[in-house]
Amino acid sequence: MRVGQLTHAYIFEGPAGVGKFTAAQALAKALVCGNRGCNRCEDCVRLDHGTHPGVLSVVPQGVTLGIDQVREIARQVILKPAEGAWKIFIIDDADAMTVQAANAFLRTLEEPPPGVLFVLVTSNVHGMLPTIRSRCQELTFNAIPGRDIAALLRERFGFDADEADLATRVSGGVVGKALALVRGPGMARRDQVLSLASDLGVLDSLDLMNAAEALATSVRGGARQDAESKEAIEEAEQFALDKRHASFIRRTLEQRAKRDVAQRERIAFEDALSVLDSWFRDLVVAVEGAEELLVNLDRREAIERCAKMTSSETALACIGMIERARRMIRHNVNPQLALEAMLLDIQECDPCNVS
């Protein structure tokens, strides 16, 4: 990276979990660190804690990034850096800007002072204003080939070949998702979803609602467990320059923790829907006699049994219902209600009724 070749604004876009925000932080470190991102110096440590005065991370407050946040960005832009030559703004979920906020940000983006760099991170670049996109250089982060993920899980993290292969198949080429499956509660939640899917044909409405509630509770519990702790916020405050800076750090990290819980919940619900989607995709594959393309190889017997009692058209209709639920969650419908409505619709479609 040559500083003289940097533009003033970038968009890092691609699927969730492929490392966009991590890459944005690495770019910031390379600029503020005297050793181009050593991960050991005070600048790098403060950046990791979210307390570096020259690097400001902006996240949506709730589900949107509003006009007040953009006005604060505009106010910060015109101030000289507290130290160093750079003032870097990393805006996560940049597609969450309201129309009013996006139009206001456009004015800030057009003529920033020297030394100001914007990195807009998004998993939905098409949800951003075209006028903002036209003023930024876009960098696309793609999913990683499955063989590379499997090798990473085996060689760096010590997982056996079968475990690595399964995580690779169900992660869709997203390293973060693969690691979450093999390290966290992701695999247990996947088993929960697939067991529910295979039992849809025999559950009555009450049992189905109880299963949906249990799944929603599991998803929410995992998301909240990962949220930033009070101790982490207090530790970050130790790097503050003064009381005003400490107050800013606490406010920012508390907002980030609240937003992270909401975002993790949404992502976790969408991950659960993706697992359910993979079940019905596998049904289509099995019905069409292409078992070599199965994703959920550990569920082959259940998939083949269910495939004998359904059709490709029915399974594809269920996939459409899952996509509708995914859109509802993205439009801030209560995830548990969206999940329950979807499961009732799928059960009525009756893709695998053995009664």
pLDDT of 174-183, one tens digit each? 777 777 776 6
Quote the CA–CA distance of 29 and 191 in Å, as a whole number.
Answer: 39
Q: Which tens digits make up the pLDDT trace of 205-241? A: 888 889 889 888 888 776 555 444 555 555 555 555 5
- The pLDDT value recorded for residue 73 is 93
| Mean pLDDT value of segment 260-288 | 86
Do 60 and 135 reside in the same domain of the chain? yes
Question: Is 175 a domain residue?
Answer: no
| Mean pLDDT value of segment 260-274 | 80
End-to-end CA distance of the chain: 63
Question: Is 16 a domain residue?
Answer: yes
Question: Is 174 a domain residue?
Answer: no
| Mean pLDDT value of segment 7-27 | 90
Q: Which tens digits make up the pLDDT trace of 284-301? A: 999 999 888 888 888 999
The domain total for the chain is 2
| Mean pLDDT value of segment 161-189 | 77
**In which order are the strands placed within the sheet that holds 55-58?**
55-58, 87-91, 116-122, 9-13, 137-140
Do 107 and 212 reside in the same domain of the chain? no
- Name the residue with higher pLDDT: 181 or 56: 56
Residue that terminates a domain, selected from 142, 162, 195: 142
pTM for the full model?
A: 0.64
Residue that terminates a domain, selected from 76, 108, 142: 142
% of the chain with per-residue pLDDT over 70 = 85
CA dihedral 267, 269, 274, 280 (to 10 degrees): -170
CATH of residue 206:
1.20.272
Question: Is 29 a domain residue?
Answer: yes
Q: Which of 132-136, 164-168, 271-275, 302-306 has the lowest mean pLDDT?
A: 164-168
- The pLDDT value recorded for residue 26 is 94
SS3 of 20-70: the string is HHHHHHHHHHHHHCCCCCCCCCHHHHHHHCCCCCCEEEECCECCEECHHHH
| Structure confidence at residue 355 as a pLDDT band (50, 70, 90) | very low
Q: Which tens digits make up the pLDDT trace of 23-34? A: 999 999 999 998
Question: Is 237 a domain residue?
Answer: no
What phi, psi does 156 have (nearest 5°)? Answer: -95, -30
Mapping DSSP to helix (H, G, I), strand (E, B) and coil, where does residue 88 land? strand
Residue that terminates a domain, selected from 108, 125, 142: 142
Which residue segment(s) compose the domain that 299 sits in? 184-227+261-349
Hey, which bits of the chain come out as E strands?
A: 9-13, 55-58, 87-91, 116-122, 137-140
